[in-house]
Amino acid sequence: MEWKPDKSKEQPVYQQIAKRLEQQIIEGELQPGSSLPAERVLARRYGVNRGTVSAAYEELRAMGLLQSWQGSGTWVSQHLWGVRQMPNWYKYTNGGAFLPAYPLAKRIQDACFDPAIINLAKAELTTSMIPPLTLQSMEDTGEMRFELGYAHPKGDPKLREVLAAHLQEQYGITASTEEILVTSGAQQALHLISLCLLSPGDAIAMEGPSYSYSLPLFSSAGLRLYRLPLDEEGIIPEAIKLLHQEHRIRMVFANPTYHNPTSRVMSQARRRQLLEVCQELRIPLVEDDAYGALTIKGGKKPPFPVKAMDTSGTVLYLNSTSKTVAPGLRIGWLVGPRAVIERLADAKQQMDFGTSSVSQQLARHFLERTQWQKQMERLADYLFTQRAAMLDAMDKELKDFAVWDVPLGSFHFWCRLLQPLDERELLDAAIREGVVFTPGGVYGAEQGWLRLTYSWEQGTEIEEGIRRLGKVLQTI
């Protein structure tokens, strides 16, 4: 009787298939160099969708057991010397406290590194929009005096002084230098919060959909995630009370301004309601403001962050230079009560002895000068042009397949397909056609949603990428 995966098991089906093929390779049933069935063929044999088989093949490629070349198929690696004596790296790489990237997200990440693929998934500034933070520019201002020792656990004191002024001027947030922690990007701040302020089994609430669902770090910390519904103004505050009654929510995560992936902006009244509910329930609110400064030319500036109206220390505020200046700097910051900052700084010191001194000095050089305002003006113009290019292409190529709202800020269109399709199959077909996007399922959305990003590729490439996506939607 031919083996088939057991869909009633808790173990994901793609992992069952990967384990079965691994066993066949180790036992010699599948010899080095032997060809494997095409994904569609194996999917029919096992009664699963093609994306499931693709995920299993991806697991085995990561282990070095399989090799693939586009147009040539997939086969058992020729270099399995001593395979019978190999450690079972599948168990090692799928174990440990920190979980690997989700298969769909990993598939997108791999495609993003292929220069032949038009990238409508990468939420980064194109190279030309990153300002020249060079050693030469530093030297020209007489500030070429880098300190290369370990940084202060909370961050370079001069940078924190600059950040305190920056937060007040640009975001209406009042914070002392002792209430600011400099991190290696905002994602490290999320990691510190999940490890230091929460415990395995704790329940947390976040918007659904949300960028945070693409991050395994919450599951790695053993946290239980519960979804908060959104309307056009953002999180519905009453939903927090209901979730808290049922699950004793310990923390709320929110992205009120140019929400990722929907690009929605929470109204001022809703922000106040959100804060009041969290204060009433004594639940900390983590506010991610990564896109908050990215208002597109001609758009109305959003309200100040929730943190700007917080006088009780309820809000932990996160931001970074990744979306506005340069992602490679890896400079983020967290603002919160001094006791929280002390606790997280202690953990960060144990992790990495502080964020790069060089990056901190480069960030300070930029944030304390007029370059910040000039950069925001440049970005407002650039994103206006980029958005227009994508909107024109979408109106031409996608209007029969999807609907969308026009974003007022950030990098993304959030689109709903008129006819929901299998996400993995659609993504694979798009990558074969030479374009990559982000399916909504990566962010916890139901099937039929996708995020298209216009910050990375230039106008002609955006147009061609949308044309290719339209071709896939027409033929799939």
Position 178 scores a pLDDT of 97
Select from 326, 344, 369 the last residue of a domain.
Answer: 369
- Give the confidence band of 135 by pLDDT, cuts at 50, 70, 90: low
Say yes or no: 273 and 358 in one domain. yes
Residue 190: C-alpha distances to residues 25, 181, 196, 267, 423 (Å): 40, 12, 10, 24, 28
Say yes or no: 347 and 208 in one domain. yes
Is the Cα torsion angle 38, 39, 40, 43 positive or negative in sign?
Answer: positive
Is residue 167 a part of any domain in this protein? yes
Cβ atoms of 261 and 454 closer than 8 Å: no
Select from 322, 345, 369 the last residue of a domain.
Answer: 369
Say yes or no: 291 and 198 in one domain. yes
Position 215 scores a pLDDT of 80
Position 146 scores a pLDDT of 65
User: Region 397-411: what's the mean pLDDT?
Assistant: 97
User: pLDDT tens for residues 151-203?
Assistant: 788 999 999 999 999 999 999 999 999 999 999 999 999 999 999 999 999 99
Say yes or no: 206 and 355 in one domain. yes
Q: What single string gives the DSSP state of each residue in 182-231? A: EESSHHHHHHHHHHHT--TT-EEEEESS-GGGG-THHHHTTPEEEEEPEE
The encoded tokens of residue 1 equal: 């009787």
Collapsed DSSP state (helix, strand, coil) of residue 435: strand
Say yes or no: 178 and 323 in one domain. yes
CA–CA gap between residue 3 and residue 324 (Å, rounded): 52
Q: Is the confidence at residue 89, as pLDDT, over 70?
A: no
Poorest-pLDDT segment among 63-67, 191-195, 286-290: 63-67
User: Region 74-83: what's the mean pLDDT?
Assistant: 70
* CA 213 to chain CA centroid, nearest Å: 8
Rounding to the nearest 10 degrees, give the CA dihedral for residues 244, 447, 390, 126.
60
Number of domains comprising the chain: 3
Poorest-pLDDT segment among 144-153, 213-222, 360-369, 381-390: 144-153
User: Region 434-451: what's the mean pLDDT?
Assistant: 94
Of 100 and 34, the one with more pLDDT: 34
Position 82 scores a pLDDT of 47
Percent of the chain with pLDDT strictly greater than 90: 67
* CA 387 to chain CA centroid, nearest Å: 20
Poorest-pLDDT segment among 90-104, 299-313, 457-471: 90-104
User: pLDDT tens for residues 202-261?
Assistant: 999 999 999 988 788 888 889 999 999 999 999 999 999 999 999 999 999 999 999 999
Cβ atoms of 177 and 383 closer than 8 Å: no
Max mean pLDDT among 66-75, 131-140, 366-375 falls in: 366-375
- Helical H segments across 121-174, by residue range: 135-140, 157-171
Say yes or no: 222 and 161 in one domain. yes
Cβ atoms of 110 and 444 closer than 8 Å: no
Say yes or no: 336 and 274 in one domain. yes
pTM, entire model: 0.80
Say yes or no: 384 and 407 in one domain. yes
- Give the confidence band of 3 by pLDDT, cuts at 50, 70, 90: confident
Say yes or no: 89 and 108 in one domain. no
Cβ atoms of 312 and 353 closer than 8 Å: no
Collapsed DSSP state (helix, strand, coil) of residue 234: strand
CA–CA gap between residue 19 and residue 60 (Å, rounded): 9
User: pLDDT tens for residues 22-51?
Assistant: 888 877 778 788 889 999 889 988 999 999
Residue 42: C-alpha distances to residues 74, 444, 467 (Å): 12, 28, 30
Is residue 2 a part of any domain in this protein? no
Residue 170: C-alpha distances to residues 231, 306, 368, 407 (Å): 27, 14, 12, 21
Position 86 scores a pLDDT of 56
- Helical H segments across 327-406, by residue range: 338-352, 357-367, 371-397
Is residue 135 a part of any domain in this protein? no
Position 88 scores a pLDDT of 58
Closest by Cα among 413, 386, 126 to 261: 413
CA–CA gap between residue 292 and residue 411 (Å, rounded): 11
Position 93 scores a pLDDT of 62
CA–CA gap between residue 342 and residue 298 (Å, rounded): 41
CATH code at 75?
1.10.10.10
Collapsed DSSP state (helix, strand, coil) of residue 265: coil
CA–CA gap between residue 262 and residue 283 (Å, rounded): 25
Q: Is the confidence at residue 470, as pLDDT, over 60?
A: yes
Q: Which residue range forms the structural domain that includes residue 392?
A: 103-123+374-475
Collapsed DSSP state (helix, strand, coil) of residue 167: helix
Is residue 289 a part of any domain in this protein? yes
What mean pLDDT value characterizes the chain?
A: 90
Position 151 scores a pLDDT of 77
Position 371 scores a pLDDT of 84
Position 100 scores a pLDDT of 62
Position 63 scores a pLDDT of 83
Percent of the chain with pLDDT strictly greater than 70: 91
The encoded tokens of residue 165 equal: 């002024």
Is residue 327 a part of any domain in this protein? yes
CA–CA gap between residue 472 and residue 476 (Å, rounded): 6
User: Region 65-74: what's the mean pLDDT?
Assistant: 82
Cβ atoms of 205 and 249 closer than 8 Å: yes
- Give the confidence band of 137 by pLDDT, cuts at 50, 70, 90: low
Q: Is the confidence at residue 297, as pLDDT, over 70?
A: yes
Enumerate residues 6+ apart whose C-beta is below 8 A from 457.
Answer: 118, 119, 120, 126, 465
Poorest-pLDDT segment among 269-273, 402-406, 420-424: 420-424
CATH code at 302?
3.40.640.10
Collapsed DSSP state (helix, strand, coil) of residue 417: strand
Element (H, E) at 462: helix 459-475
Say yes or no: 240 and 334 in one domain. yes
> In this structure, are strands 332-335 and 180-183 parallel, antiparallel, or unpaired?
antiparallel
CATH code at 444?
3.90.1150.10
The encoded tokens of residue 12 equal: 């994901």
CA–CA gap between residue 18 and residue 13 (Å, rounded): 9
Say yes or no: 321 and 172 in one domain. yes
Say yes or no: 153 and 39 in one domain. no
The encoded tokens of residue 149 equal: 């020792």
